[in-house]
């Protein structure tokens, strides 16, 4: 895993050497093992390497093909590179890397090579003969790729901080992005929190030639409507084979490999499969807390004992987490409410001697593990509720939120106020932090930009009998890609740790997407997955879902009060916010009002901290 940087100077007016070095320095943490540079004419490539496969110097990048025509910089892992290498056996390989296989594949198949790749990646190839640059990102967007373009320059990188370090990007806040962030604790791609900085979308590539930029989608998740129906036994068998295959592909490594083990269903299944496939004991890691209320340690121990792993429990006190928080925020490449959690787990795992870790990330999105799957399904099943006159439902919602002053009741009241209980109306509410009415109070401007989640899901087809697959697609394209994957990448790479995600194998996702609701509905937690991989004890399968719980509400009122209070007051004073109403939210939280959760205030705190650290202009 690595960091890549590139500059294309359309008018050849700039000192590319200085800029590309500054960009490389900004992502040094992503690749501490080696640095490489390529500068020729109007092109500059930079690379920071974290060695995973072929640790020799010959594998350093930028990497040139055998003819010298093509130059590659690459961040990722190609899991089927050995298969492709045997198919491309007429190429004179000099290394044992997957990087060189990408060069050989592009040389033979051009842009169509992407359809043959299985893995997570973002890479760029410079064609000296055509004087063109080809930039691509993996199907699910596991690896990031940011860019800035103008008439004079095109700059790209694995991180936003590197783009800012180039000197070509103005440090200006993207105001429409702020609305998106306050709604969903993220800015949905292709936009970012920085004006004129974009993400290359998952499953897309760019080609830049003669100053012209073209973009194309090469993959998207679609329904397979004409597929023949299968029995449940056949579906379970197929799921089992696909999950095992996905894990096996991700075991290749020339450095120590382990697995995150929270004791939940997803990480436990990954651990079970790894232990069966490995010829030696596997290394597993769990982060636990002294307070059993916040610890999943006992479940992780059950799995570690069952599969006989070399298990390491990393015991953290809440004050340990607090001590690491400033460092986590320093590495935050894009504001997010969840980033620090990922940083702590990654740092602890890296400190235990592991460079590659497998994660259960994606299991909830693929196998209906979140409450939102049941929520959308149930509301959709009770569409007759929409026949009740709107004013009655709206009144009922108001009464409900008035009687029971908590977040759950407030969200239920918002659902009742919907004019229609269809997918396009229900889903955007599921992860909304603030209602549209609250948004209008938070911001100083009366004009509210379009809800990005509503726009994204408007392009998803909801086929009869496949509602859960539509929810899965919505989760992947919103929360997973724009929060979880971005946080996982930036926070794990801050510790130079590579995280692999078997549940996001595109073949597994494509197949799971074709399974009907009657087989996928989670009557028990992730029933389809646990039925297919029948390897977990019942106390793990049926355990309560905990997540990564920490006493944030207490911290914001005590240990983090000064840090939080100064940032809340600072962000409230910015021109795009309504200062009085944000301070009112903060005071209500401090007084213990149940409808104001710590998460709703933390996103403001993180945003202001990010703006200050990156020296952003309004």
How confident is the model over 114-134, as pLDDT tens digits?
999 999 999 999 999 999 999
Q: Between the CA of residue 293 and those of 16, 166, 230, 546, 551, what are the distances in Å?
A: 53, 46, 43, 9, 10
Does residue 393 carry a pLDDT above 50?
A: no
Cα-flanking dihedrals φ and ψ of residue 207, to 5°? Answer: -130, 130
What pTM, to 2 d.p., does this model score?
Answer: 0.92
- pLDDT category at 366 given cuts 50, 70, 90 is very high
pLDDT band at 400 (very low <50, low <70, confident <90, very high): very low
Tokens 């449940």 found at: 232
pLDDT exceeds cutoff 90 at 560 = yes
Q: Cα(368)–Cα(513) distance, rounded to whole angstroms? A: 11
The answer to whether 287 and 387 are in contact (CB under 8 A) is: no
Query: In sequence order, what E strands does 86-196 have?
Result: 119-127, 132-137, 146-149, 153-157
**Measured at the alpha carbon of residue 518, what is the angle toward residues 514 and 519, in degrees to the nearest 5?**
65
Whether residue 191 contacts residue 180, with contact meaning beta carbons closer than 8 Å, is answered with: yes
Residue 487 makes CB contacts below 8 A (sequence gap 6+) with 336, 338, 339, 341, 342
d(CA 605, CA 16): 36
Section 216-227 average pLDDT:
78
The rounded distance, in Å, linking the Cα atoms of 210 and 540 is 57
Judged against a pLDDT cut of 60, whether residue 405 lies above it is answered with no
- Give the gyration radius of the chain's Cα atoms: 24
Distance from C-alpha of 227 to C-alpha of 248, rounded to nearest angstrom: 27
Which of 111, 102, 363 has its CA nearest to residue 219?
Answer: 111
Contact criterion met (CB below 8 Å) for 321 and 560:
no
Helix (H, G, I), strand (E, B) or coil at 4: strand
Distance, CA of 30 to CA of 48 (rounded, Å) = 7
The string of pLDDT tens digits covering residues 94-111 is: 988 999 999 999 999 999
Q: Which position among 1, 2, 155, 426 bears the catalytic label?
A: 2
Q: Is a pLDDT exceeding 70 seen at residue 593?
A: yes
Q: Which residues pair with 149 in a beta bridge?
A: 154
Give me the pLDDT at residue 92, please.
Answer: 94
Distances 497 to 257, 299, 490 between C-alpha atoms, Å: 10, 24, 10
Report the pLDDT averaged over residues 407-436. Answer: 76
Rounded to 5°, angle at Cα 100 from 94 and 103? 125
State what percent of residues in the chain have pLDDT above 70.
89
CA distance 123 to 113: 13
Q: Residue range 422-449: average pLDDT?
A: 88
User: What's the confidence (pLDDT) of residue 226?
Assistant: 56
Is residue 2 part of the annotated active site? The answer reads: yes
C-alpha–C-alpha distance, residues 50 and 73, integer Å: 13
Coil, helix or strand at residue 526: coil
Give Cα 157 to chain centroid, integer Å.
Answer: 17
Residue 338 tokens, joined: 């969840």
Q: Is the Cα torsion angle 299, 302, 303, 309 positive or negative in sign?
A: positive
Cβ 441 vs Cβ 390: under 8 Å: no
pLDDT classification of 548: cutoffs 50, 70, 90: low
pLDDT at 196 over 80: yes
Determine the Cα–Cα distance for residues 8 and 208; give it in Å rounded to an integer: 9
Tell me the C-alpha distance between 415 and 418, whole Å: 5
CB 143 within 8 A of CB 489: yes
> In terms of Cα–Cα distance, which of 167, 162, 208 is closest to 43?
208
Q: Which residues contact 566 (CB under 8 A, 6 or more apart)?
A: none
Q: How far apart (Å, rounded) are the C-alpha atoms in residues 46 and 307? A: 43
Q: Are 23 and 163 in contact (CB under 8 A)?
A: yes
Tell me what the mean pLDDT of segment 53-67 comes to.
72
Q: 399 pLDDT band (50/70/90 cuts)?
A: very low
Q: Give pLDDT, residue 314.
A: 81
Q: How far apart (Å, rounded) are the C-alpha atoms in residues 407 and 413?
A: 10
Give yes or no for a contact between 70 and 91, defined as CB atoms under 8 angstroms apart.
Answer: no
For the chain, which domains are there? 2-217 (3.60.20.10), 232-368+470-541 (3.40.50.620), 371-467 (no CATH), 552-614 (no CATH)
Exposure on the CB side of residue 108, measured as CA atoms within 13 A? 15
Respond yes or no on whether the N-terminal peptide bond of residue 190 is cis (omega within 30° of 0): yes
Angle at 481 between CA 478 and CA 486, to 5 degrees: 130
Q: What is the dihedral of CA 277, 279, 280, 281, to 10 degrees?
A: 20
Averaged pLDDT for residues 520-531: 95
Do 8 and 42 touch, CB atoms closer than 8 A?
yes
Are the beta carbons of 93 and 105 closer than 8 angstroms?
A: no
Per DSSP, the residues of 260-287 read E--SSHHHHHHHHHHHHH-SSPPEEEEE
Question: Is the pLDDT confidence value at 355 over 70?
Answer: yes
Question: Pick from 171, 203, 188, 225: which is nearest to 474 by CA?
Answer: 188
CA angle 15, 6, 153 (to 5 degrees): 60
d(CA 441, CA 504): 39
Average pLDDT, the chain: 89
Cβ atoms of 26 and 4 closer than 8 Å: no
Burial class of residue 313 (count of CB atoms within 10 Å of its CB; 0-12, 13-18, 19+): middle
């Amino acid at each position: 895993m690595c960091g890549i940087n590139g500059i294309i100077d359309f008018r050849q007016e700039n000192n590319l050497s200085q800029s590309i070095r500054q960009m490389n320095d900004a992502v040094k943490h992503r690749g501490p093992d080696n640095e490489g540079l390529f500068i020729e004419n109007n092109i500059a490539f930079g690379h920071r390497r974290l060695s995973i496969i072929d640790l020799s110097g010959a594998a350093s990048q930028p990497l040139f093909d055998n003819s010298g025509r093509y130059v590659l910089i690459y961040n990722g892992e190609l899991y089927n590179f050995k298969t492709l290498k045997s198919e491309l056996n007429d190429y004179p390989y000099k290394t044992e890397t997957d990087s060189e296989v990408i060069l050989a594949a592009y040389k033979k198949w051009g842009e169509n090579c992407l359809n043959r790749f299985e893995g997570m990646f973002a890479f760029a190839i410079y064609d000296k003969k055509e004087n063109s640059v080809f930039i691509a990102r993996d199907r699910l967007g596991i690896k990031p790729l940011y860019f800035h373009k103008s008439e004079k320059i095109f700059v790209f990188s694995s991180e936003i901080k590197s783009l800012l370090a180039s000197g070509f990007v103005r440090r200006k806040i993207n105001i429409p992005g702020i609305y998106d962030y306050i709604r969903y604790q993220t800015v949905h791609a292709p936009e970012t929190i920085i004006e004129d900085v974009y993400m290359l979308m998952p499953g897309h590539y760019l080609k830049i030639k003669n100053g012209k930029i073209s973009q194309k989608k090469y993959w998207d998740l679609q329904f397979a409507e004409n597929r023949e129906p299968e029995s449940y036994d056949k579906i379970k068998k197929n799921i089992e084979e696909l999950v095992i295959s996905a894990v096996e592909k991700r075991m290749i490594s020339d450095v120590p490999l382990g697995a995150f083990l929270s004791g939940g269903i997803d990480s436990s299944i990954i651990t079970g499969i790894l232990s069966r496939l490995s010829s030696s004991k596997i290394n597993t890691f769990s982060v636990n807390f002294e307070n059993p209320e916040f610890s999943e340690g006992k479940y992780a121990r059950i799995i570690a004992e069952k599969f006989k792993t070399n298990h390491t429990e990393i015991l953290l006190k809440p004050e340990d987490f607090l001590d690491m928080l400033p460092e986590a925020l320093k590495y935050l490449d894009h504001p997010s409410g969840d980033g620090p959690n990922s940083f702590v787990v990654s740092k602890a795992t890296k400190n235990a001697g592991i460079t590659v870790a497998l994660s259960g990330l994606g299991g909830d999105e693929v196998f209906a593990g979140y409450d939102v799957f049941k929520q959308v399904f149930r509301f959709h099943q009770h569409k007759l509720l929409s026949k009740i006159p709107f004013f009655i439902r709206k009144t009922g919602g108001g009464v409900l939120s008035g009687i029971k002053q908590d977040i759950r009741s407030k969200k239920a009241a918002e659902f009742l106020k919907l004019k229609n209980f269809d997918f396009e109306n229900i889903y955007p509410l599921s992860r909304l932090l603030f209602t549209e009415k609250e948004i209008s109070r938070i911001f100083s401007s009366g004009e509210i930009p379009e809800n990005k989640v509503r726009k994204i899901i408007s392009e998803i087809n909801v086929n009869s009998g496949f509602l859960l697959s539509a929810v899965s697609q919505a989760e992947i394209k919103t929360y997973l890609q724009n929060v979880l994957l971005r946080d996982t990448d930036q926070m794990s790479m801050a510790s130079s740790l590579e995280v692999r995600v078997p549940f996001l194998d595109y073949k597994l996702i494509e197949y799971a997407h074709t399974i009907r609701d009657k087989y996928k509905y989670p009557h028990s937690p992730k029933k389809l997955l646990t039925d297919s991989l029948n390897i977990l004890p019942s106390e793990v399968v049926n355990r309560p879902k905990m997540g990564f719980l920490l006493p944030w509400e207490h911290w914001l009122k005590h240990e983090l009060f000064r840090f939080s209070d100064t940032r809340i007051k600072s962000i409230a004073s910015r021109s795009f916010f309504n200062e009085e109403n944000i301070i009112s939210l903060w005071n209500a939280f401090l007084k213990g009002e149940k409808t104001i959760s710590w998460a709703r205030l933390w996103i403001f705190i993180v945003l202001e901290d990010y703006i200050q650290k990156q020296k952003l202009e309004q």
